Amino acid sequence: MSEMSKAVSTENLNEYKGRSLAQETWRRLLKNKGAVVGMIFMVLLLILALSGDFLYDYDTEIIGMNMSEARLAPSAEHFFGTDQLGRDVFSRIVYGTRYSLIIGVGSVAVGLIVGLITGSLAGFYGGMWDQLVMRANDILYSIPNIMLAVVIVQVLGTSVLSLVIALSISSATSFAKITRAAVMTIRGQEYVESAYAMGLPTWKIILRHIIPNCLSPIIVQVTLAIGSNIIAASSLSFLGVGVPIPTPEWGTMLSDGRQFIRSEPWMCVFPGIAIMLTVLALNLMGDGLRDALDPKLKR
């Protein structure tokens, strides 16, 4: 009897082990059904993006024209129909996943890093640095995004990389603004002072205490920005400064199919659905991540 109670008490002691932030966040993320659905969808997209080359031959199946099969409605042979040049819409969407993901996620990632660093430093230190960063930001903000992107792409040459750079600049400005505002409210909190009293260096305080507490508005902005950057890439393609024309990028396909929307709507509808589902999945994931990172919403 006494042995048994002893065993129980040691077991209890072992239970009181600390969990790391990553473990805790992951545990809570898995409890959120929406986030799990979003993650599964994104993983599928990632697999598609990586396996496009194994599934299709780029020259014949993706960009090769076949006028005899032009503008066919969706069927068992062509799930999503074919476009005006006889290319299979389904294969093009699958193959195009990589471009859309690189453009959407890549531009936001670059913009996020730049915006997070400049914005948090501006919000934290204030003064001259704040003036410098925010005025530069205002200048960029005052130029219409599309025009700015056109100029950048013209200078760097048309390619996916220059498109990513062009779009990341306009994302960076909004990330910097949001981060700065959030950091300014967190900076004055007593737990920041407490961290100083503990002897933490400033960069650790910013990374460990300030940025995690600013994350909610930033995560929302990330999920929104990925979707809008995919769309923005398509308007740039439409202007002729986006992805070079035969590339099966979703936004390009959408604008290509626009002329046929009355007679052959599948050319527009399916790329549109692909963009929509991606944005939806990212939103579900982002919301789940935001909630999982906020211990106050713990269930």
Partner 1 sequence: MAEKKIILEVQNLTKYFDTPKGKLHAVDGVNFQIEEGKTLGIVGESGCGKSTTGRTLLKLLEPTDGKIIFDGEDITHYSRAKMRKMRTQMQMIFQDPFSSLDPRQSIMQLISEPIKEHKLLKSKAEIEKRTLELMDIVGLARRFVNSYPHELDGGRRQRIGIARALAVNPKLIVCDEPVSALDVSIQAQILNLLKQLQRDMGLTYIFITHDLSVVKYFSDDIAVMYLGQMVEKAPSAEIFANPTHPYTQALLSAIPIPVVGKEKPPRKLLRGEITSPVNLPDQCRFLKRCDSCQQCCQEKSNPQLVEISPNHFVACHIAK
Q: Which positions lie near partner 1, rule CB under 8 A?
A: 13, 16-19, 21, 24, 189-191, 193-202, 204, 209, 212-213, 293-296, 298
Q: Minimum distance between the CB of residue 6 and partner 1, rounded to whole angstroms?
A: 17
Which one, 59 or 190, has the nearer CB to partner 1?
Answer: 190
Phi, psi torsion values for 57, nearest 5 degrees? -95, 120
User: Can you read off the two tokens belonging to residue 290?
Assistant: 């935001």
Residue 32 CB neighbour total at 10 angstroms: 20
d(CA 249, CA 110): 20
Question: What DSSP assignment string belongs to 77-130?
Answer: SSTT-B-TTS-BHHHHHHHHHHHHHIIIIIHHHHHHHHHHHHHHHHHHH-HHHH
d(CA 154, CA 135): 25
Which one, 8 or 197, has the nearer CB to partner 1?
Answer: 197
Q: Minimum distance between the CB of residue 207 and partner 1, rounded to whole angstroms?
A: 12
Which one, 144 or 212, has the nearer CB to partner 1?
Answer: 212
Which one, 26 or 196, has the nearer CB to partner 1?
Answer: 196
Q: Minimum distance between the CB of residue 290 and partner 1, rounded to whole angstroms?
A: 12
Which one, 165 or 192, has the nearer CB to partner 1?
Answer: 192
Q: Minimum distance between the CB of residue 124 and partner 1, rounded to whole angstroms?
A: 14
d(CA 113, CA 111): 6
Q: Minimum distance between the CB of residue 50 and partner 1, rounded to whole angstroms?
A: 34
d(CA 120, CA 218): 12
